[in-house]
Chains A and B, each alone.
Chain A
Amino acid sequence: MAKLDPVVKKETAYVAAWVLAGCMLIQGVCLVAGWWSLPVLLGALLGGVTAVGNFLLMCRMVQKAVTQTEKQAKNTVQLSQGLRLMMQGLVLVLAAVLPQTFNIWTTAIPLLIPRIAITVREWLGAKRNPAPDRPAIGWDDEEDEDD
């Protein structure tokens, strides 16, 4: 097994923390609303593990792809994306055909948490470190440059 890059470890830990928090939030909401049952817990566990596993596989794919040539990297990414989408599809189908064991909604929601985690981090990062003010390049300036 290839050694994980520190960047990959850091990103995976961040996403795993968010997925854990999200799953706990789902359990909390279900408890308060009175919908909680064992399938809700098992569904959240299945969805959470799949979300983190998918993210880790994606990070490993990126780590591998950046060492390859352009064409190889493109093929690796497309193959990996297809296989990971299929894996997530199988997990969702499993949750759908076994409603007594897994709740489909609590399985599906954790799969979308990594996107929320990344979006929130980008948003907070943009707020903390705003882009430096640059003088606006107007039409006249460009004309001057051409001259």
Chain B
Amino acid sequence: MFLELAIGIILGGCAIGAGLAMIAGIGPGIGEGNAVAKACEAIGRQPECKGDVTSTMITGCVIAETTGLYGLVIAILLIFVAPKQFVNILLENIK
């Protein structure tokens, strides 16, 4: 009974953690969208600086996007890797 409850808490905690980590995936999309919209505005004003703006945009998008990727990696690890490890630690401690 206690073991089942403990495993349930571990799985629930991992699932909640993964969900919270994925909140980080929302921000980069919104931020990148705003940045590119402003880049379009800048190119509209000064079409000759398109190359520079594109290069800067790519740099900015990579940096913004990795934040979401960190969250994604953590969420995947929490769902697929962490529960097994935590349950193993629990079983070892019970023995």
CB of B66 within 8 Å of the partner chain: yes
Chain A residues within 8 Å of chain B by Cβ, number: 40
Identity of the chain A residue whose Cβ is nearest the Cβ of B81 in the assembled complex: A104
Q: A58-B58, A88-B69 are in contact. Are A104 and B37 (CB under 8 A)?
A: no
A77 within 8 Å of B by Cβ? Answer: yes
Q: Is the interface of B mostly helix, strand, loop or mixed?
A: helix
Let me know if B40 and A69 touch, CB within 8 A: yes
A96 at the interface (CB under 8 A from B): yes
In the complex, A7→B29 CA distance in Å? 23
- Nearest opposing residue in chain B for A113, CB measure: B66
Task: Verify if A43 is at the interface (C-beta below 8 Å from B).
Answer: no
Give the residues in chain B near A63, CB-CB below 8 Å.
Answer: 54
Q: In whole Å, how far is A66's beta carbon from the nearest beta carbon of chain B?
A: 6
Please give me the residue from chain B that is nearest to A118 by CB atom: B62
Contacts of A74 in B (CB 8 A): 33-34, 36-37
Option from A8, A58, A69 in Cβ contact (under 8 Å) with B62: A58
Q: Please report A residues at the B interface, Cβ cutoff 8 Å.
A: 5, 7-8, 11, 55, 58-59, 62-63, 65-66, 68-71, 73-78, 81-82, 84-85, 88-89, 92-93, 96-97, 104, 108, 111-112, 114-115, 118-119, 122
